[in-house]
Amino acid sequence: MTATVFSIANQKGGSGKTTLAMNLAAGLSGRGRTLVVDADPQGSAVQWSGMAPERRPFPVPVIALGDNLASEIQRFRRDYDFIVVDCPPSLETERTNKAMLASDRVLVPVLPSPVDLWASMRLARAIEQIRPIRPGLEACLVVNQLEPRSALSRAMQEALAEFEIPALASPIRRRAVYRNVAIEGRSVFCLGRQGDAAKAEIAAIIEEITGP
C-alpha cells in the first residue's frame, strides 16, 4: 500500500485549508484508509477532530507533525491509501515546503477576492520552484466560498487563467454547513439532506483529483 499524499496549502490565512482538508479526508475515507496530518502549529485540524464526541469520533485519524514532517509522511505512506496534509498559513516556515516535497498533489484553496488571488500567486511561484526537486508534483487551485451571484465570483475565470497552475472545474460554494460541521467535529458527509449540496461538491473534487 502506498498512499497518495495531498497537501492543502496557501500562505494566506482564512482561505479554507482546514475545511477542505477535513471534508476531503472524510470523503476519501469512503475510498480507502485515510490519515489527516496537521502540519499547522495552530492545530486547527486536531482541534476540529477533538470537537467530536467520543461515541462518534471524526471518521479519519488526525495527527500533528512538526519538523520531521517529510520523513514521517513517507513512513505513513505504507499504512494508508490517502494522506491529507493541512499546511500552515505561511511560506516562512519550512513546513509547507517539506509537506509539498512529500506530496503527490498540492491543492490551493483560493477565495474569490483580489487580495487572496494576489497572495496565492506567491504560493504558485513556490510550487514552480519546487517542481525541479520534486518532479511529477501536481498542483491545482480550488475555488472556495464561491458566490455565483457576486460579480467578483463571476470574474474569477479570467483571473485564474493568469496562474501557471490549473483550477479544478469543481468549486466550493459559500455555505454555512461547512462552518457548522467544524463545531461538531464532523464532516459534511455526516449530514442528512441539508448537506447534500456540500457533499456533492466535495465528491466532485475527489473525483477530479483521484481520477485518471
Partner 1 sequence: MSRIASRLAQSVRQAKNDPPDPRTGRKATTPAGEPADAAGSVVTRQAPTREAPSPAPMPARRVWPD
- List of residues contacting partner 1 (CB under 8 A): 91, 114, 117-118, 121-122, 124-125, 151-152, 154-159, 161-163
Q: Which is nearer to partner 1, 128 or 208 (CB)?
A: 128
Q: Which is nearer to partner 1, 56 or 154 (CB)?
A: 154
Q: Return d(Cα 106, Cα 95) in angstroms, integer.
A: 14
Q: Which is nearer to partner 1, 121 or 204 (CB)?
A: 121
Instruction: Say how many C-beta atoms besides its own lie within 10 A of residue 176's C-beta.
Output: 9
Q: Which is nearer to partner 1, 70 or 117 (CB)?
A: 117
Find the shortest distance in angstroms from Cβ 2 to partner 1.
35
Find the shortest distance in angstroms from Cβ 121 to partner 1.
5
Find the shortest distance in angstroms from Cβ 111 to partner 1.
12
Which one, of 178, 180, 182, 179, lies nearest residue 51 by Cα? 182
Which one, of 46, 60, 43, lies nearest residue 3 by Cα? 60
Which one, of 139, 155, 173, lies nearest residue 20 by Cα? 173
Q: Which is nearer to partner 1, 41 or 114 (CB)?
A: 114
Helix (H) or strand (E) holding 83: strand 82-86
Find the shortest distance in angstroms from Cβ 101 to partner 1.
19
At position 136, the amino acid (one-letter code) is: G
Find the shortest distance in angstroms from Cβ 118 to partner 1.
4
Spell out the alpha helix ranges (H) of 131-195: 151-154, 156-160, 176-183
At position 59, the amino acid (one-letter code) is: P
Q: Return d(Cα 172, Cα 97) in angstroms, integer.
A: 25
Q: Return d(Cα 27, Cα 45) in angstroms, integer.
A: 15
